[in-house]
Amino acid sequence: MTVKTITKEKAPIPVVYLVLGAVVVLGAVLGIVRLALGLGATTNLSNDYPWGLWIAFDFFAVPFSAGAFTLAAVLHIFNRKKYHGIAHLALLAGFLGYLMVILVLVMDINRWDQFFNVLLPWNWNLHSFMFEVAMSITLYFGVLVLELLPIVFGRRNWIAVQIVSQLIPFVAGVGILLSTVHQSSIGAIFLILARRLHPLWWSPIIPLFFFTSAVFSGLSVAILLAIISWRALRMPAPMPLLSSLAKVAGIVMAIYLALKLGDLLLAGEVGLVFGSGAFSVLYLVEITIGVIVPMVIYFSRAQETEKGLLAGAICTLIGLAMNRATNAWFALRAVPGATYFPSWIEIGITVAAICAGILFFAVGLRNLPTLREGVLKEEH
């Protein structure tokens, strides 16, 4: 095991940080405007289209952050300690992803001033999938905070941090359980939309689709972040580790593809793949770019190179974004006479949320010594 010595050097703030920061500030201003004026005055949402861009963003950001629980399982359940640096990157990305989800959800709630009601037992609806998802996200976010404490305050000799550090395997186990449940529960929300969601996407096993896609997407995000982070630190990426993650992601993709095709075969709806007009094109593009192309890359010699892994991870995320946007928006049967396109405020807040995640991740990698040391540690 070798560890590269980290020296703290004062450096000017990169211009890209300033640009991202400006977008985040603008987004915060737009958020205040939305909270002050209400949904009707600032969005194009309606009773006919209660779901729009923000829900699609949340449905994407949750599986995007799934690397935190998949790598936690690799690290703590399968005891593969050599992945600890990558797992820490995924943990930071997961925390930021869920933070953005919560903030955007607040934007999407009409009575945002009563968001805390979900935490009050006398307001619980135990028969609601939305309640389960809301509670799981809230609890899992708390788990991510606890897991992140030793990384943020790892050099502080605080008793609380030491106690949390000792409990991390248990905390991570709880987080894995919570994340597993709500990744599939988000898909379960669509079970009640059988008459509105196009049959190419609706299925009685759609919760399983959401869970498996979250697993391979989380692994792909971990690969992407690892390559970007090691490049930012001017170090060669640990290709053997990333290649092994890519192979696992490829296997899960194969399972997902088999489930999708098998479901259509059993339902007698294979003909819809080529006979649904624009929906067929959307479905084929999503499956090809988001599953087949990265799966081929992950199973070929291309996964032995950084460029190959980057291409596979980016394709996976494009496919994930298409899938979640299609389920939450494009493939839902429109109410006659109703149309929806996000307002500029909806778009601005969404872009700001994405920029905030990128900015805070970069700042964390740049300024958290324990995170950087974990990333630069090479284990053989």
Sign of the Cα pseudo-torsion (182, 183, 186, 191, in order):
negative
Output the average pLDDT for the chain: 86
Most confident of 32-41, 77-86, 156-165: 32-41
Q: What is the pLDDT of residue 2?
A: 47
Euclidean distance between CA atoms 68 and 171, whole angstroms: 12
- How far is it between the farthest Cα atoms of the chain? 65
- For residue 271, being part of any structural domain is answered with yes
* Residue 197 bridge partners (DSSP): 332
Nearest 5°: the CA angle 82, 72, 245 is 55
Most confident of 75-89, 130-144, 197-211: 197-211
Q: What is the pLDDT of residue 53?
A: 92
What percent of the chain stands above pLDDT 90?
A: 47
Instruction: Give 275-329 pLDDT, tens digit per residue.
Output: 999 999 999 999 999 999 999 999 999 888 999 999 999 999 999 999 999 998 8
- For residue 218, being part of any structural domain is answered with yes
Euclidean distance between CA atoms 195 and 123, whole angstroms: 29
CB 126 within 8 A of CB 134: no
Euclidean distance between CA atoms 68 and 179, whole angstroms: 9
Sign of the Cα pseudo-torsion (100, 181, 170, 84, in order):
negative
Is pLDDT above 60 for 167? yes
- For residue 313, being part of any structural domain is answered with yes
**Global confidence as pTM:** 0.87
Average pLDDT over residues 205-220: 94
Euclidean distance between CA atoms 373 and 246, whole angstroms: 24
CB 61 within 8 A of CB 137: no
Domain count, the chain: 1
- For residue 184, being part of any structural domain is answered with yes
Q: What is the pLDDT of residue 256?
A: 97
Average pLDDT over residues 103-130: 85
CB atoms within 10 A of CB 201: 21
CATH number of domain containing 230: 1.20.1630.10
- For residue 4, being part of any structural domain is answered with no
What percent of the chain stands above pLDDT 70?
A: 92
Q: Which position has the higher pLDDT, 224 or 79?
A: 224
Q: What is the pLDDT of residue 316?
A: 96
* Residue 332 bridge partners (DSSP): 197
Q: What is the pLDDT of residue 120?
A: 87
- For residue 9, being part of any structural domain is answered with no
Euclidean distance between CA atoms 2 and 56, whole angstroms: 43
Average pLDDT over residues 120-133: 82
Instruction: Give 244-274 pLDDT, tens digit per residue.
Output: 999 999 999 999 999 999 999 999 999 999 9
Instruction: Give 326-372 pLDDT, tens digit per residue.
Output: 998 888 887 788 888 999 999 999 999 999 999 999 988 888 776 66
- For residue 153, being part of any structural domain is answered with yes
Quote the crossing angle between the two packed helices 159-188 and 206-232, to the nearest 10°: 140
- For residue 146, being part of any structural domain is answered with yes
Average pLDDT over residues 176-183: 82
Q: Which of 62-66, 235-239, 344-348 has the lowest mean pLDDT?
A: 235-239
Q: Which residue has the tokens 């080529």?
A: 274
Average pLDDT over residues 89-97: 90
Average pLDDT over residues 155-183: 78
Domain that residue 137 falls in? 15-376
